[in-house]
Amino acid sequence: MDQPSTPTSPTASSGDLRIPHRDPAAVKLATSVKRRVTSLPRSPGEVRDRAVRAVDKRILDVPSRRDAVISGTVALSRVPGAGAVAAGTAAWMGDRLTRRKAPTAAYRLYAGVGPRVAGTPGLPLRVRKAVADLNAGVRPDDTDELVRLSVEAADRAYEARRHDAAAAHLQAAFDLLFHRYFHFEGLASPYAKDPVGYLAPLRESSAFRALTTPSDRVRTPAAPDPSRPHRLLVTTVSNFNFAKGIIDEWSQRDDVEVRTLDLRTVPKGPWEATPERLVANRLRQADGIPFEVPAEVREDFDWADTVFTEWGHRAMVWTSMLPDLQARTVSRIHSYEAFTQFPHMTDWSGIDDLVFVAEHIRNLTQVGVPAVDRGPRLHVVPNRNVLDDYTRPKRGSWERTMALVGWAQMVKDPLWALDVLDILRRHDDRWELRLFGAEFAPDEQLTTVARDYRDRVTARIAELGPAVRKMGYSKDVGHALRRVGVILSSSVREGTHEAVIQGAASGALPVVRNWPFVAAYGGPRTMFPDIWVVETPQQAADRIIAHTDDVSLADSARESAAWTREHYDWPVIEPRLEQLLLRPEGTPTA
């Protein structure tokens, strides 16, 4: 029997519906329909996103329409019974305006609606206005009241087990108490002065107690498989700077397999490592509701033998909540994190080992966060510094040259360094100061206080003329330090101050201010010989003069360099960190 034939060209009998001669009008219509169909939103979320973009483009980005909507919302807040609606509208629009880089318009909303809406509905707007004032360098008179009201609102919500609402109010209190205005934009910190007293408004809060009490769950990390390389996951939120050298070096080893995860890249959802969502999930955890994350994110953590959380910040809190984690968890705190909310809200039962880069930061944390003593083993291991590159011959007039690295920040207090230079030049006018690093941030990124400070620094530099040289950013710090005889640390707060370690290793005489923020906790004296540390610009100048007039600067600096390499060179530090991260059977480093 003959087999049925297979059509090879379009014919009527083949059933092929292709049109040999297409009608242009029909094609155009079909294309238009297809475009419209494929452009339809595919989910409620996409509908919402498109609506938001339309509001942004057609209203908020058009000044006249934006002003009209703001005025209408403020007017609505005056209508009896409409306050809650006005407050909700103002909060949403304020978020959008901030995203659209229109903070002044957002401020008008907060200031116009917040005070007119009584009770809890208006509270978030009052807090946002206060945060904006702090951003501008102005402390609102009602800051303490707003903290108290926010904490009370958080407690009411938490007692009703409305975790998201409680988190929003508690985060509002944190946004005020831990604002950079108080701890990073000045020359003193109320938290550093009295950690216990500063957080007194939170101590009686039921929500804060739930947030900060360790779960006391028992964790028994699984033993690594000795037949394969040790699996190390390094995770953080955005900043791998201090871990990059370790990651790069250990990735080349045969006995270690390294992965990295930036928690900013996790899929969007209630598990994201944003401050408010972290608070909400910690409150849920306190009530026995496990922290759940997507399987594709969880996979990296379940793969690891050790999870190393870089920075004691959002990633540390996030990792501490993961249930049933078989890996050992190690977190590292540098300096600034100690002045944030995150060490307070970490579930220390979920962290096996906590590394501080300096003893004085550990001391401060233990005073301010007593729960830290209920969970992890505590260690002090300095940062990675490969110091061979800094051992180079000196050049030029290095004997009368000081350096300050990363100078254009209030925390570095360059005015203090300029005071030292003034005193030295009265003794010997050959002295100069080299400033390494970028200029101060643009005006829009500085508070009023920071701008005023910058202007004072600028004026002083102008007065000193060629005695101060701005060197800009240097890719080769070791080369730049060849012309430096004295390395200064004029900071009000530091963790380890890598520039001092590198400068001392280069053969520059180290002169270290007793960092005021952390002096009460040991400060630089926990890191360096006491003779390096001074209290005032006059003492700094006296130390420098003593070593340049009476003794050879080269001999003194050579002693400092040798001490620095013995205590901070990477071959000295690496075995301690390796023992902690890769050899968990070893004795922890005290």
| Count of helix runs (H) and strand runs (E) in the chain | 26, 12
Residue 48: band (very low, low, confident or very high) from pLDDT cuts 50, 70, 90: confident
Contacts of 246 (CB under 8 A, 6+ apart): 234, 384, 577
Give pLDDT, residue 327: 96
Confidence at 188, pLDDT banded by 50, 70, 90 = confident
Tokens standing for 533?
Answer: 């540390």
DSSP 57-114: IIIITSHHHHHHHHHHHHHHHTSTT-HHHHHHHHHHHHHHHHHTT-HHHHHHHHHHHG
Q: Is the pLDDT of residue 45 over 80?
A: no
* pTM of the complete model beyond 0.85: yes
Q: What confidence score (pLDDT) does residue 19 get?
A: 46
Whether 3 has a pLDDT exceeding 70, the answer reads no
Read off the tokens for 225.
């498989």
pLDDT of residue 25: 65
Distances (CA, A) of 305 to 216, 234, 324, 576: 22, 11, 13, 18
pLDDT bin (cut points 50, 70, 90) of residue 453 is: very high
d(CA 347, CA 284): 12
pLDDT computed for residue 446 by the predictor: 87
Using the predicted structure, report yes or no on whether residue 556 has a pLDDT greater than 60. yes
**Residues 138-180: tens digit of each pLDDT:** 999 999 999 999 999 999 999 999 999 999 999 999 999 999 9
Distance (Å, rounded) from C-alpha 121 to C-alpha 268? 27
**Residue 160: Cβ-neighbour burial (10 angstroms; 0-12, 13-18, 19+):** exposed
Amino acid at 269: G
- SS3 call for 387: helix
Note the pLDDT tens digit of each residue in 216-263.
Answer: 888 889 999 999 999 999 999 999 999 999 999 999 999 999 999 999
pLDDT score, position 52: 81
Q: Residue 458 pLDDT > 90, yes or no?
A: yes
Secondary structure (DSSP) of 312-381: SSHHHHHHHT-TT--SEEEEEE-SGGGGSSHHHH--GGG-SEEEESSHHHHHHHHHH-GGGGGSSEEEE-
Say how many C-beta atoms besides its own lie within 10 A of residue 122's C-beta: 22
In this predicted structure, the answer to whether residue 562 has a pLDDT above a threshold of 90 is: yes
- Could you report the per-residue pLDDT of 303-336, keeping only the tens digit for each? 999 999 999 999 999 999 999 999 999 999 999 9
**What is the average pLDDT score of the chain?**
90
> Which two tokens mark 139?
């402390």
- Residue 272 is predicted with a pLDDT of 95
Contact between 488 and 540 under an 8 Å Cβ cutoff? The reply is: yes
Of residues 493 and 549, more confidence is placed in 493
pLDDT of 76 strictly over 60: yes
Of 35-49, 174-188, 417-431, where does mean pLDDT reach its minimum? 35-49
pLDDT the model gives residue 557: 85
Write the CB contacts of 243 (distance below 8 Å, at least 6 apart in sequence): 234, 236, 308, 310
In the block, residue with structure tokens 């360099």:
561
pLDDT at 35: 59
State the alpha helices, DSSP H only, in 404-518: 414-427, 448-464, 477-480, 498-505
Rg of the chain, C-alpha, whole Å: 30
Structural domains in the chain, CATH included, are: 58-212 (no CATH), 230-384+573-581 (3.40.50.2000), 387-568 (3.40.50.2000)
Q: Is the pLDDT of residue 507 over 80?
A: yes
Does the structure show a pLDDT above 80 at 20? no
Residue-level pLDDT at 36? 55
